[in-house]
Structure 1
Amino acid sequence: MPQRSALSLVVYDGDCAFCTTSVTRIMRRLRPKCTVSPWQFTDLDALGVTRRRAQHELLYISPAGTVYGGAQAVAKILLRAGGIWAWPGGMLTLPPARWIAHGIYRTIAAHRDRLPGGSPACAVPTTHRPG
């Protein structure tokens, strides 16, 4: 059973410079009501999350323990930021925007080692990619 908390939790890959920079900028600019932790320093078992999933995508864990990944995690962060950010966050939860966001997120995640701030350490191992 996932751990419950008063705040939502955002879990990201702390070994990836692109991921770390992205999450830091999002948290600083949007100020969503949640805490942030690299998966390397998070008790994933207590959250009901596998290491493989944490390596694969950004995760958002709601106060009730529901886990959202990838583009849906981004949508939840935007919703938690409130204000003007809640509108695009809400749109990302609905088809077809949800499908498009998923495709864009997967493309960025698959090539994060080639993006600004990325390094070979940012590459998701082929064995950890779904499909």
Structure 2
Amino acid sequence: MRRQPVLVYDGDCAFCTSSVQFAERRLRPRCEAAPWQFTDLEELGVTQQRAEHEVLWVTPNGSVHGGAQAVAKLLLSAHGGWPLVGALLTLPPVRWFARGVYRVVANNRQKMPGGTPACALPASRATQKQG
């Protein structure tokens, strides 16, 4: 059994990778960060489709939090004042607003600073999202 949470992100996305590296340097969260491409997703209890769609926070007991709530969990595990921000992200209506902001950023990550065309959602996910 794992001893700490795992933050699963898209290692092919420059924006995602830069964001995780920033968090590791500045926030120092208490977790392991791993690109989904090099992670045993089945062991974590998540699908590749979900890992392509959003960042994931997987607790040692197997609970999975995605998107804005994964970011909230990351912040809750960080040093300094960040846990307060993480706690706010778990409360309605901030939680609902954060979900929408996360989705806009995730759907447009290739346009974000550091993003590249490789950051775009796979064509199958983009088509599914529109349908």
Q: Answer whether TM exceeds 0.5 for this pair.
A: yes
User: Who is 2:56 aligned against?
Assistant: 59
| Kept after mapping to 1: 8 A contact 2:10/2:37 | yes
How far apart are residue 128 of structure 1 and its match? 1.9
Which 4+ runs in 1 deviate beyond 4 A? none
Q: 2:99 aligns with which of 102, 109, 117?
A: 102
Do the aligned partners of residues 35 and 114 (structure 1) sit closer, same or farther apart at CA in structure 2, a change above 3 Å counting? same
How far apart are residue 102 of structure 1 and its match? 0.3
How far apart are residue 65 of structure 1 and its match? 1.1
Amino acid at match of 2:72: A
Mean CA deviation greater in 100-109 or 111-120: 111-120
CA distance in 2, matches of 1:119, 1:85: 28
5+ residue gaps in structure 2? none
In the superposition, the TM-score normalised over structure 1's length comes to 0.93
Q: How many residues align?
A: 128
How far apart are residue 38 of structure 1 and its match? 0.3
How far apart are residue 83 of structure 1 and its match? 3.4
CA distance in 2, matches of 1:93, 1:11: 19
Q: Does residue 1:92 correspond to 2:89, yes or no?
A: yes
Mean CA deviation greater in 9-18 or 118-127: 118-127
Alignment partner of 1:117: what SS?
coil
* Percent of aligned positions that are identical: 56
RMSD over equivalenced CA pairs, Å: 1.2
CA distance in 2, matches of 1:5, 1:83: 25
CA distance in 2, matches of 1:105, 1:58: 10
In the superposition, the TM-score normalised over structure 2's length comes to 0.93
| Kept after mapping to 1: 8 A contact 2:28/2:79 | no
